[in-house]
Amino acid sequence: MTIEFKNKHLLALYKNGKSKKYTLNKSVLNKFFSVVAILESAKDIYDLWNLPSLNFEKMQGFKSRYSVRLNKKYRLEMTIEWTNEELTIGIIGLEDISNHYGGR
């Protein structure tokens, strides 16, 4: 699957390890890098579903927004633009890191 950064702050975090918007502790930051690597190496949606630690799920209230957990508090939110009819391969757009329980 292909990854695109839809959020300039996430791109800065990925490239520089820091961002004005995201002040994350080292363990969450390391998990972010690890999850992006997993997303980049995924061949299809099944690769994400088959990793229970990601807790990959469709977000309620959104048409094409999904999330994976970074830890118990934070999740990485993304959109997927499907590129095949089976809806198993697509372009993952990284949107935000959010707090599971609302707010940042």
pLDDT tens-digit profile of 43-57? 999 999 999 999 999
pTM: 0.90
Residue 99 tokens, joined: 């707090």
CA 73/CA 56 separation, integer angstroms: 15
Ramachandran category for residue 55: left, alpha or beta (phi over 0 → left; psi -120 to 50 → alpha) = left
**Quick one: average pLDDT of 86-92?**
94
Domains and CATH numbers, the chain: 2-98 (3.30.2310.20)
The answer, yes or no, to whether residue 103 has pLDDT greater than 70, is: no
Q: How confident is the model at residue 104 (pLDDT cuts 50, 70, 90)?
A: very low
The answer, yes or no, to whether residue 62 has pLDDT greater than 90, is: no
103 or 26, which is more confident: 26
